Structure formats: structure tokens, C-alpha cells
């Protein structure tokens, strides 16, 4: 078989797939003869048919078995380059950036990061006003227990101290 014939048969298999009915009519017979004589072309036709079946299955028109589909899917996935999510890429970039910096620059960046966390991020984790926490929750509970009235955020719970509540209870008792 001439190298040009081999290359043409490969090009037809790559372009038209493994089904001879899809090949150019004027070259079909010659390509089939070339495939019978070449194990490499036979293997290429088998792979092309598997890919044709996978594509047809996606369109809902194949009888390809699940193991064949898994083999082809694994082959395609293994040939793809590895991908990172955005956070992974950012983390990798930061590691490489920090590795190239002198120690005093690394220390400065670390301190700046800690200040950023302490000044900006931590204060935003506070509960919104109007939701009692700690001492205010206890004071609200005591107020409700003594008076039977509920306090709202507009009642300024922070101004009511525990001693005020004790005085109130002593005065009533």
C-alpha cells in the first residue's frame, strides 16, 4: 500500500467516521480494500465506529453497550488537560507569588492580611442589631418574666441593666 493511499484512508476515517455508507462513493471500495490489508486502519475504523455510536447514542439512535460507552468516555476524559477551579488557580498563583518574595515581604503581606481580617471581615460577623445576644438576651428574659411584656429592638435593651431588673422585682415584691 502506498503511503498516500494509507494517508487518504486515514483522512476519510477521521472525516467521515467508521461507517462506509458515509464515505465518498467513488473512494469507498478502495478504502475498504485498504482497511482489509492494514491492521492499523482496521483499528482506526473500529475506533471511529465507536465514536460514531457514542455520537448517535447522544442523539438517541444507537445500540452501543454501556461498557463501550464508558471506555470511550474514559479515553476522552484522560486525553483532556487537567483543570482547576478558580479558587485552586488563585491559591496556586498566590503560593508561587509568595515563594518568589523575600522573607520581609512575605511577613508584611501576612501582617496586612491579618489586619484585613481583623478590621474588615470579623466585624461583619456580628449579629444585626435588634437580636439580643449574651447579657441582653438574659435581660430580655428577666424583663419578660417579671413584667409579662416582650421587649422590641426599639426598647433599647442595652440601657436596661440587670440591677434595674432586680430593683424592679424588689419594688414589686
Q: Are 17 and 49 in contact (CB under 8 A)?
A: yes
**Tell me: the pLDDT tens digits for 51-99?**
888 787 766 655 556 677 777 778 877 777 766 677 777 788 888 888 8
- CA atoms of 33 and 123, how far apart (whole Å): 77
For the whole model, what pTM was predicted? Answer: 0.34
Q: Is 52 exposed, middle or buried (0-12, 13-18, 19+ CB in 10 A)?
A: middle
CB neighbours (10 Å) of residue 31? 22
Give 2-13 pLDDT, tens digit per residue.
556 888 888 888
Distance CA(89)–CA(155), nearest Å, equals 50
Residue-level pLDDT at 115: 87
Place of cell 488537560: 81
CB-CB contact of 109 with 98 (8 Å): yes
Amino acid at each position: 500500500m502506498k503511503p498516500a493511499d494509507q494517508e487518504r484512508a486515514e483522512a476519510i476515517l477521521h472525516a467521515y467516521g467508521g461507517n462506509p455508507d458515509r464515505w465518498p462513493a467513488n473512494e469507498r471500495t478502495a478504502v475498504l480494500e485498504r482497511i482489509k490489508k492494514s491492521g492499523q486502519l482496521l483499528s482506526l475504523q473500529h475506533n471511529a465506529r465507536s465514536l460514531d455510536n457514542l455520537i448517535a447514542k447522544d442523539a438517541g439512535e444507537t445500540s452501543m453497550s454501556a461498557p463501550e460507552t464508558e471506555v470511550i468516555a474514559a479515553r476522552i476524559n484522560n486525553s483532556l488537560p487537567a483543570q482547576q477551579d478558580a479558587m485552586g488557580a488563585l491559591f496556586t498563583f498566590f503560593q508561587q507569588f509568595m515563594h518568589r518574595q523575600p522573607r520581609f515581604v512575605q511577613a508584611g503581606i501576612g501582617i496586612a492580611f491579618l489586619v484585613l481580617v481583623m478590621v474588615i471581615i470579623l466585624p461583619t460577623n456580628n449579629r444585626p442589631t435588634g437580636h439580643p445576644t449574651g447579657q441582653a438576651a438574659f435581660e430580655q428574659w428577666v424583663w419578660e418574666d417579671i413584667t409579662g411584656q416582650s421587649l422590641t429592638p426599639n426598647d433599647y435593651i442595652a440601657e436596661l441593666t440587670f440591677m434595674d431588673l432586680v430593683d424592679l422585682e424588689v419594688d414589686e415584691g
